[in-house]
Amino acid sequence: MRLPVPGPRSLAGQLFAMQAVLIAVVVAGYALFTYVSDRQQAEDAAGRQARSVSLAIADSPSVLDAIRTPDPTAQLQPYAVRVMRDAGVDFVTIMDPEGIRWTHPDPRQIGRLFRGHIERAQRGETFTETYTGTLGPSVRAVTPVDDGGRVVGLVSAGIKVEEISKRAQEQLTALLAVAAGALLLGAVGTYVINARLRRHTHGMNADELSRMHDYHQAALHAVREGLLMLDGQHRVALINDGGRELLGVRGEVVGASVADLGLPAQLTGALLASEPRVDEVHLTAERVLVVNTSPVSGGEHRGTVVTLRDVTELQSLTGELDSERGFTQALRSQAHEAANRLHTVVSLIELGRAEEAVDFATAELELAQALTDQVVAAVSEPVLAALLLGKTAQANERGVELVVSQDSRLDDGLLPPSLPARDLVTILGNLVDNAVDAAQGRAPSRVTVAAYTDVAGGAGSELVMRVTDTGAGVDPAHADLVFQRGYSTKPADEGGRGLGLALVRQAVQRHGGTLTVAGAEGGGARFEARLPLDGTGPAGAPAAHAVPGRPTAGGTA
């Protein structure tokens, strides 16, 4: 039969045992030190008392008069007994200069030689010593009796060490009572503190806590998603590597307030909110994040756990998918129109009007080729040209005329590698979609696109993309809001609203460019994005703003 082996005690139990032993040692040491100190103080006090009594007797005129008589004992013995009783000393011995006693508590000792040192007193000096005499060990003082510069007698007064010990023991009893109370109070306090610690550590021992910490650290660094933990005052209590990367924070941020991390206002507001947030989309300078928050509560608000997921690529792919879906719809519409025109040509041929059929078909081909030639001639960069052709077909389907302005000129190969095609599609595609939405249903319904390079006064060349619509415009009071995520004048039941212009601002800011909105001539809005082509753009330039001094308007966001 195997005996059960006790497991390691919990951390709280180990601390309780250690603290109890520590308190006991401290209290015992203090009691011993105090006892020794009090005993020494009692001996010092007894010496001072004996010295005072012996000096008072030696200075008494009646003592000097008694010494001059033939029988000093007759007067001095009763006097010494009274002094012993009144002064609280154990003995008073008056003797001649040679140490022969005139008085003593035990009358049988009178006439015998004093037991102790008297040499210093014989020389006229008062001193104190501890000596074992006829009454046992005592603390005594010896004082000379002076008569005109001549020592005519000696006085010794003392207190037995036994009496001093009794005094110290009385103090020790009180001290032990105080020490026992301190030990009991310390034990109770230690128990209460360790009971609380036991609740917080869930009864785990030091090894278990250490392993949990190691697992905790390994898990934090292994998780690719961002994890952020805030305390009850919305200060950063913990952040993993993924959280630092996704939020773009550097340095030591543990203990810093969320409001001091320099995050976008809407993201900061979500982190500071007391209610949970589920799959909220937020934009930083370079990323699109999905944020989830969950409060940590145990009867009170103790903090918040925040998880962050990077959906930048997913959002970009979603935008491309939307563009492809739009192209597909445009192609379907064009196929439908082509079928109608083909039926028209076939019908004309069947009616024997071949010449009119050729003219009709040639006119349609020339119109389509003219549109393609116009776009490609203005913007020969293939990605933007394809985007504009697709957006033209989409706009046509929705009854909006999309025009490429005559001042557009963007040759193929001009754009540097620092401007990827995906970002250009994000910027120009969202601006055009926004403008088409604004112009649809208006009279006239037109969107004008301009794309060209410009030399910005010695600051390097810039790519300029300008989109103008004939929409109703935006309230000037909302000019600074159109670029914020979530702002939209479109129906609220459609998902993803208010993200297009925010993505445009993010892409422009990432490349150090500027994005402005101003009123267009004749109404509507004009959005203009400027991107540096040589990397000399202001990295910290504002991503979006309304042009001062102009009437602010714009399409819907």
User: Which CATH number goes with the domain that contains 477?
Assistant: 3.30.565.10
Q: Which amino acid is at 80?
A: A
Q: Which amino acid is at 15?
A: L
Please indicate, yes or no, whether residues 103 and 121 belong to a single structural domain of this protein. yes
Please indicate, yes or no, whether residues 285 and 334 belong to a single structural domain of this protein. no
Residue-averaged pLDDT of the chain: 75
Quote the CA–CA distance of 293 and 305 in Å, as a whole number: 6
Residue 280 in any domain: the answer is yes
**Burial class, 174, CB count within 10 angstroms (exposed 0-12 / middle 13-18 / buried 19+):** exposed
Residue 552 in any domain: the answer is no
Identify the residue with better confidence: 84 or 207: 84
pLDDT at 154 (0 to 100): 92
pLDDT at 144 (0 to 100): 92
The three-point CA angle 274-218-241 to 5° equals 55
Q: End of a domain among 309, 331, 348?
A: 309
Please indicate, yes or no, whether residues 64 and 144 belong to a single structural domain of this protein. yes
Q: End of a domain among 282, 309, 336?
A: 309
Residue 102 in any domain: the answer is yes
Confidence of residue 553 (pLDDT cuts 50, 70, 90): very low
pLDDT at 513 (0 to 100): 86
Please indicate, yes or no, whether residues 157 and 230 belong to a single structural domain of this protein. no
Residue 196 in any domain: the answer is no
Question: 548 pLDDT exceeds 70?
Answer: no
The three-point CA angle 115-116-117 to 5° equals 145
Mean pLDDT of 326-332: 62
Please indicate, yes or no, whether residues 303 and 319 belong to a single structural domain of this protein. no
Question: 410 pLDDT exceeds 60?
Answer: yes
Quote the CA–CA distance of 96 and 118 in Å, as a whole number: 11
Residue 147's contacts (CB-CB under 8 Å, 6 or more residues apart) are 64, 67
Classify the phi-psi angles of 262: left when phi > 0, otherwise alpha if psi is within -120 to 50, otherwise beta.
Answer: left
Domains in the chain: how many in total? 3
Q: Which amino acid is at 387?
A: L
**Burial class, 362, CB count within 10 angstroms (exposed 0-12 / middle 13-18 / buried 19+):** exposed
> Which range among 311-315, 414-418, 485-489 shows the weakest confidence by mean pLDDT?
485-489
Please indicate, yes or no, whether residues 411 and 517 belong to a single structural domain of this protein. yes
Q: What does DSSP assign to residue 454?
A: E
pLDDT at 337 (0 to 100): 62
Mean pLDDT of 386-396: 78
Residue 184 in any domain: the answer is no
The pLDDT tens digits for 125-184 are: 889 888 887 777 888 889 998 888 888 899 998 888 776 666 666 666 777 777 777 777
Please indicate, yes or no, whether residues 50 and 121 belong to a single structural domain of this protein. yes
The residue whose two tokens read 């960069």 is: 381
Residue 503's nearest CA partner among 352, 285, 320 is 285
Please indicate, yes or no, whether residues 36 and 155 belong to a single structural domain of this protein. yes
Contact between residue 278 and residue 290 where contact means Cβ atoms under 8 Å apart: no
The pLDDT tens digits for 230-287 are: 887 888 888 887 787 778 777 788 888 888 887 877 788 888 887 888 878 777 767 7
Q: End of a domain among 258, 288, 309?
A: 309
pLDDT at 318 (0 to 100): 63
Please indicate, yes or no, whether residues 265 and 145 belong to a single structural domain of this protein. no
Quote the CA–CA distance of 445 and 87 in Å, as a whole number: 123
pLDDT at 389 (0 to 100): 76
Quote the CA–CA distance of 98 and 83 in Å, as a whole number: 23
The pLDDT tens digits for 347-380 are: 778 777 777 777 666 765 555 555 565 566 556 6
- The alpha carbon of 248 is separated from its chain's Cα centroid by a whole number of angstroms, namely 17
Residue 161 in any domain: the answer is yes
- Can you give the CATH number for the domain in which 33 is found? 3.30.450.20
The pLDDT tens digits for 507-530 are: 888 888 888 888 877 778 888 888
- The alpha carbon of 222 is separated from its chain's Cα centroid by a whole number of angstroms, namely 22
Percentage of residues of the chain with pLDDT beyond 90: 1
In terms of DSSP bridges, do strands 545-546 and 514-519 run parallel, antiparallel, or are they unpaired?
A: parallel
Contact between residue 517 and residue 552 where contact means Cβ atoms under 8 Å apart: yes
Classify the phi-psi angles of 99: left when phi > 0, otherwise alpha if psi is within -120 to 50, otherwise beta.
Answer: left
| Alpha helices (runs of H) in 441-526, residue ranges in sequence order | 500-510
Identify the residue with better confidence: 171 or 404: 404
Question: 3-state class of 496 per DSSP?
Answer: coil
Residue 428 in any domain: the answer is yes
In which order are the strands placed within the sheet that holds 525-532? 401-404, 446-455, 461-469, 525-532, 514-519, 545-546
Based on its alpha-carbon atoms, the radius of gyration of the chain, rounded to whole angstroms, reads 52
Confidence of residue 488 (pLDDT cuts 50, 70, 90): low
Question: 498 pLDDT exceeds 60?
Answer: no
* % helix, strand, coil for the chain, step of 5: 50, 20, 30
Quote the CA–CA distance of 207 and 483 in Å, as a whole number: 53
Please indicate, yes or no, whether residues 322 and 384 belong to a single structural domain of this protein. yes
Q: How far is CA 241 from CA 5, 249, 310, 456, in A?
A: 42, 10, 13, 40
Contact between residue 517 and residue 525 where contact means Cβ atoms under 8 Å apart: yes
> Which range among 270-274, 380-384, 421-425 shows the weakest confidence by mean pLDDT?
380-384
Residue 11's contacts (CB-CB under 8 Å, 6 or more residues apart) are 197, 201, 204, 205, 206, 209
pLDDT at 496 (0 to 100): 45
Residue 555 in any domain: the answer is no
Please indicate, yes or no, whether residues 413 and 269 belong to a single structural domain of this protein. no
What 476-479 contacts at long range (C-beta under 8 Å, 24+ apart), as own/partner pairs, is 476/546, 476/551, 476/552, 476/553, 479/517, 479/546, 479/552, 479/554
> Which range among 35-49, 220-234, 290-304, 361-375 shows the weakest confidence by mean pLDDT?
361-375
Please indicate, yes or no, whether residues 132 and 233 belong to a single structural domain of this protein. no
Contact between residue 442 and residue 398 where contact means Cβ atoms under 8 Å apart: no
Domain extent, residue 514, equals 315-487+497-532
Contact between residue 526 and residue 468 where contact means Cβ atoms under 8 Å apart: yes
The residue whose two tokens read 């649809």 is: 440
Q: Which structure tokens are listed for 47? A: 């010496």
